[in-house]
Structure 1
Amino acid sequence: MKSAIAITNRSLHDQVASRIRDLIIEGTLEPGSRIDEAHLIEELGVSRTPFREALRTLAAEGLVIVRPSKGSVVRKLTRDEVFSMLEVLGNLEKLAGELACERASDEEIEALIDLHKHMMDCYRARDRMPYYKMNQDFHSRLAGLSKNETLQEMQANIQARLKRIRYIGNQKPDSWAGAVADHEEMVRALKDRDGLALGEAMANHLKKTWDRVKDSI
């Protein structure tokens, strides 16, 4: 009997990367731990080649450190690194919010609001991983609505490195509720196309994220 996390389509290394990424986000593969390649290859039901390709993808995202001849490890961020990334991300997303209200079409804004509604459905069901993934998509798509490629690239780079950190920000019920309240505020500003209000809401959300995660790093 195959493991519940086995890969069904063995030809796509991005599926392998997605599964390993989830294990890192959820903490099954702990920060700083060595990745047991032989065990994971067996669990995922894949060959070594797509597995190694997946590790290189995750290394490019900043989630894994590949050490030739020594094995790979899950990257462990320091408190200073997390704070500095959140500080920069907050300012990037503040600008993204301001620009999105100026440049996004009505259809694009409506689609983002619809995504938020699905997020809230997951929150009410306390379905944490789907909520988390939609939340990541919300922030990425908002950056996309800025229509600024440089901003999008920078936002994507930092967000990728903070995947595990952002996930643990919703561990406690009150922290998750606070994050949801932040998103409700963002969506109100987005509906009104109030760029200044949305920008401030985005920046404050990232500041609060630091408060929610700093004791868990």
Structure 2
Amino acid sequence: MSDAPELPELGELLSALTPPAPVKRKGSLHANTVAELRSMIVTGVLAPGARLNERELCERLSVSRTPVREAIKTLIQDGLLRSLPNHSAVVAELDADEIAALVDVLAAIEALAGELAAARMTDEAVAEIGMLHYRMMLHHSRGELPGYFEANKAFHRRIIELSGNSVLGWVWDLLSLRVDRARYSSNLWPTRWKVATEEHQQILDALGARDPERAGRALRDHVRNGLSGLVAALREREAAPRG
């Protein structure tokens, strides 16, 4: 009998050379599920009043029922979903009074951020905001609303960051959970979408001129103009007789 050592199998060699697959952390899985479900609500894939089907969501998001159920609980707390007595959930309807109240607060916050940011703008910051505006214009020219919405949010978030006020950023993030769906819906009207791009140019010009007053006014008007039409449409629908 030979004393030569037994050679390992090919599978054993590959196992030794191949690093183990990363394990998904529970926190990351929850955050990703929440983000995907929130995106489906914001973009209208799940329409207002739609009842959630956990099994279908599990298949669509490629996750088990536990992260789906936890995500639903989170979005109920955020106000995007409404819990029913039988423990199921539906997508919350857009409420005109709530959106109007959000507009008042968001307009004031973004106006203040614009004033603070304009006073602190550097050439690099102006160029950065300009690139985000260019991305929005590119998506608008292609009719790509999801891409436009993403660039639009990055545009507004960067102005908040450039204000240098961390409290503004904290409050803005909280409001975004409620106002994103309304902002997305407002751009479904082609005429409003086009005007929004022109208003973003005015904001960019005011920031580039380092003009706090003009920047604040441009952002305040932009927020109000963007959502006033949606509020009016919702109030008209709410006032209409139900047949």
TM over 0.5: yes
Alignment of 1:91-102 (within 5 A): 91-102=108-119
Aligned match of 2:162 in 145, 152, 164?
A: 145
Per the alignment, residue 213 of structure 1 pairs with 230
Alignment of 1:3-82 (within 5 A): 12-66=29-83, 70-82=87-99
> Which position in structure 2 is the counterpart of 1:176?
193
Q: Distance in 1 between matches of 2:208 and 2:125?
A: 11
- CA deviations over 1:128-156 (Å, ceiling 9, x no partner): 10101111121112111111111111112
**Cα drift, residue 210 of structure 1:** 2.5
Shift, 1:59, TM fit: 3.6
1:153-200: CA deviation from partner (whole Å, max 9, x where unpaired): 111211220111101111121110011111011011111111111100
**Alpha carbons 1:55, 1:66 under 8 Å: kept:** no
Task: Label 1:92 to 1:161 Cα distance change in 2 as closer, same or farther (>3 A).
Answer: same
Q: Which has the larger radius of gyration?
A: 2
Bigger CA drift: 49-58 or 170-179?
Answer: 49-58
Consecutive aligned runs of 4 or more in structure 1 exceeding 4 Å deviation: 66-69
% identical aligned pairs: 34
**Structure 1 residue 110: Cα displacement:** 2.1
Residue identity opposite 1:64 in structure 2: L
Q: Is the 8 Å Cα contact of residues 86 and 207 (structure 1) preserved in structure 2?
A: yes
Secondary structure of the equivalent of 1:162? helix
Q: RMSD across aligned C-alpha pairs, in angstroms?
A: 2.1
Amino acid at match of 1:84: A
TM-score computed with the length of structure 2 as normaliser = 0.78
Unaligned runs of 5+ in 2: 1-22, 235-243
Q: Distance in 2 between matches of 1:93 and 1:48?
A: 38
Match of 2:180 in 1: 163
| Distance in structure 1 (CA, Å) of the matches to 2:24 and 2:93 | 29
Residues 106 and 60 of structure 1, relative CA distance in 2, 3 Å threshold: farther
Counterparts of 2:130 and 2:114 in 1: how far apart (Å)? 14
Native 8 Å contact 1:41 1:51 kept in 2: yes
* Paired letter, 2:100: F
Aligned residues: 209
Once the two structures are TM-superposed, the CA of residue 68 in structure 1 deviates from its matched residue by: 7.9
From 210, 218, 221, the counterpart of 1:201: 218
How many Å separate the matches in 2 of 1:67 and 1:208? Answer: 34
**What is the CA–CA distance in structure 2 between the aligned matches of 1:140 and 1:56, rounded to whole Å?**
26
SS across alignment from 1:73? strand
* Preserved CA contact (<8 Å) 1:10 1:46: no
Please say which of residues 110-119 and 57-66 is displaced more in the overlay.
Answer: 57-66
The one-letter amino acid paired with 1:47 is S
